[in-house]
Amino acid sequence: MLKGNKKKNRRVSKKKEPSLIRWRFNLICFFVCFSFFILLFRAAYIQVIEPDRLRYEGDLRSLRVKALPSARGMISDRHGEPLAVSVPVNAVYLDPVVLFDNGGLKEKERWNLLADVLGLKRQQMFENINKNKNKRFIYLQRQVGSAVSHYVRGLNLPGIGMKSESRRFYPTGEVSAHLVGVTGIDGRGLEGIERGYNKWLSGDPGRKTVRKDRDGRVVENISTEKHEEGKPLVLSIDQRIQAISYRAIKQAVADFRATSGSLVMVDVRTGEVLSMVNAPSYNPNNTADLKSFKMRNRAITDVFEPGSTIKPLVILAALENGVVDEKTIIDTGNGVMSIGGARVRDTSKIGKATLKDVLKKSSNIGVSKLSLSMPVEDLLGLYNNFGMGDLTGINLLGESFGFYPDRSRWSDFERATLSFGYGLSITPVQLARAYSVLGSLGINRPLSILKTNAVVPGKQVVSRKNAQKLLEMLESVTEKGGSAKAAAVAGYRVGAKTGTAKVAVAGGYGDEYIGYTAGLAPISSPRLALVVLINEPQGDKYYGGQVAAPVFSEVMKSALQLLNIAPDAHHSQLQIAKTSK
Which positions are annotated as active-site residues? 308
CA distance 174 to 23: 93
Of 77, 285, 54, the closest CA to residue 168 belongs to 285
Beta-sheet pairing, 273-279 with 329-331: unpaired
List, in sequence order, every residue forming a beta bridge with 460; answer none if it has no partner: 443
133 Cβ neighbours under 8 A, 6+ residues apart: 96, 97, 100
CA torsion, ordered 334, 339, 343, 346, to nearest 10 deg = -40
The number of residues making up the chain comes to 581
CA torsion, ordered 540, 545, 550, 553, to nearest 10 deg = 180
CB count within 10 Å of CB 334 equals: 9
CA distance 503 to 307: 11
List, in sequence order, every residue forming a beta bridge with 228; answer none if it has no partner: 204
Of 524, 339, 500, the closest CA to residue 421 belongs to 500
Of 194, 171, 173, 174, the closest CA to residue 182 belongs to 194
User: 483-486: which pairs have CB atoms within 8 A and are 24 or more residues apart?
Assistant: 483/308, 483/360, 483/361, 483/362, 483/545, 484/517, 484/519, 484/544, 484/545, 484/549, 485/545, 485/549, 486/545, 486/546, 486/549, 486/550, 486/552, 486/553
CA distance 543 to 458: 34
Backbone angles phi, psi at 470, to 5 degrees: -70, -35
Evaluate whether 255 touches 528 at the Cβ level (below 8 Å): no
Torsion sign (Cα): 482, 484, 487, 492: negative
Evaluate whether 352 touches 329 at the Cβ level (below 8 Å): yes
CA distance 451 to 273: 9
